């Protein structure tokens, strides 16, 4: 499959900070060989003893075997982590007992090679659904080789190893100073299609050498996820494999944060939030076939949840997304999406803006409406659609992209 690079693809991979206590390696098991493609498709991360972790996973009722294992390991292992393995090319979802055998073989390879508890090892897979591997140890076979080549993470190589229909490697980083100690955050993510906010919406991992207790880290990740990854959509579909995890090695040497009342947690939360928000935006900017990136802001809602629901109806509407693709400032479709949400709206006060151009006010077309001005906004690569539903004082924002012929082309040829 030949993929056209996203217009938002950066000129180069970002420089990420050093994260102490993390080693990594990448390799190839030939998941893409049948397509005539030679590339790395597996990565291994290994963490220093004492690393804590947190995770949020898809709510799909057909979650992959890897997701089910991660949920179990996160609970039984008490939020401790020593290893992470991910592969692209096969999602290990809806693979029945064979999917479980694949995980057991991979975990045995990790415990035998690294000498770590299996409940501190996490797995992920992304790719085609419903195709069991003929050899349960297909991924496990490469673990000894990867372990022999562990070193400081090559963040770009790791990011490229778990890409599927992504057109560029997506990463974000941050640093902060706590008690005269520099803390690094490095995040990598993959995702381009099958993206909708229903936690999670892709495979994403953030690594930090901060020291944070697992229960505090879990609460923090759940809060941040609801403000970032659960606010993006490409096509309205939620994957069977969606995962976001944070690994905190504590190797910076800072005193551990063990309570949400610790004043240092605010700085950690801000850094983690900035990394997660940037990663979330990058996923939408690399949406399959996407040419435009649009923020949907809903204000004046009766509750935050109501604002979220209205925003999601706008962000996921094929009619609105195709209008965005065509540069057609058809604001009537916004009115349609608000109404179909079935959320409280004061129709006599409803107002709509495209950036700073007000197209509707007091429940009707703005008397000063300019088709030329509205169309100029829709011609931009990035813009904001804002809707005030005049039913309260709550708000929410989502981020979406347009729907182009490219999306159909990519998904029509996904398995070829």
Q: What positions carry a catalytic annotation?
A: 201
Residue 3: name the closest of 286, 410, 413, 415 by CA: 410
Provide the angle, in degrees to the nearest 10, between the axes of the packed helices 304-316 and 318-326: 60
The sheet with strand 364-365 has its strands ordered as: 364-365, 357-361, 351-354, 382-388, 293-301, 394-401
Phi, psi of 16 (to 5 degrees): -100, 150
What is the torsional sign of CA 391, 397, 403, 409?
A: negative
Whether cis (ω within 30° of 0) applies to the bond prior to 200 is: yes
Distance CA 305, CA 131 (A): 37
CB of 200 within 8 A of CB of 57?
yes
Phi, psi of 174 (to 5 degrees): -160, 155
Residue 46: name the closest of 102, 112, 121 by CA: 121
Distance CA 82, CA 237 (A): 32
Distance CA 383, CA 357 (A): 11
Phi, psi of 297 (to 5 degrees): -110, 125
Distance CA 278, CA 280 (A): 5
């Amino acid at each position: 499959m030949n993929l056209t690079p996203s217009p938002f693809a950066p000129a180069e991979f970002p420089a990420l900070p050093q994260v102490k206590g993390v080693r990594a390696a990448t390799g190839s098991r030939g998941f893409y060989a049948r397509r005539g493609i030679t590339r790395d498709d597996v990565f291994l991360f290994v963490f220093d003893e004492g690393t804590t972790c947190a995770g949020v996973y898809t709510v799909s009722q057909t979650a992959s075997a890897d997701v089910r294992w991660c949920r179990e390991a996160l609970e039984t292992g008490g939020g401790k982590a020593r290893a992470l393995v991910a592969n692209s090319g096969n999602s290990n979802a809806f693979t029945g007992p064979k999917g479980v055998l694949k995980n057991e073989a991979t975990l045995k390879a990790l415990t035998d090679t690294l000498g770590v508890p299996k409940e501190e090892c996490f797995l992920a897979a992304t790719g085609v659904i419903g195709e069991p591997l003929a050899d349960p140890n297909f991924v496990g076979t490469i673990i000894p080789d990867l372990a022999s080549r562990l070193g400081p993470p090559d963040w770009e190589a790791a990011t490229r190893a778990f890409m599927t229909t992504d057109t560029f490697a997506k990463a974000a980083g941050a640093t902060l100073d706590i008690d005269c100690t520099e803390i690094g955050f490095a995040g990598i993510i993959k995702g381009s299609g099958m993206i909708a906010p229903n936690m999670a919406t892709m495979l994403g991992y953030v690594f930090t050498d901060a020291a944070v207790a697992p229960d505090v880290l879990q609460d923090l990740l759940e809060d941040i996820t609801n403000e970032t990854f659960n606010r993006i959509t490409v096509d309205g579909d939620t994957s069977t494999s969606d995962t976001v995890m944070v690994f905190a090695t504590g190797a910076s040497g800072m005193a551990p944060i063990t309570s949400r009342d610790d004043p240092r947690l605010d700085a950690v939360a801000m850094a983690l939030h900035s990394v997660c928000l940037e990663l979330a935006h990058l996923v939408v900017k690399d949406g399959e076939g996407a040419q435009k990136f649009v923020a949907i802001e809903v204000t004046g809602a009766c509750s935050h949840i109501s604002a979220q629901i209205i925003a999601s109806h706008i962000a996921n509407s094929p009619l609105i997304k195709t209008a965005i693709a065509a540069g057609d400032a058809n604001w009537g479709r916004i009115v349609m999406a608000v109404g179909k949400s079935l959320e409280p709206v004061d129709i006599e006060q409803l107002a709509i803006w495209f950036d700073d151009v007000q197209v509707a006010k007091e429940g009707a077309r703005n008397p000063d409406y300019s088709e030329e001005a509205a169309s100029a906004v829709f011609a931009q690569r990035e813009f904001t659609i804002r809707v005030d539903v005049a039913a309260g004082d709550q708000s929410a924002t989502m981020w979406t992209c347009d729907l182009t012929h490219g999306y159909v082309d990519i998904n029509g040829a996904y398995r070829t």
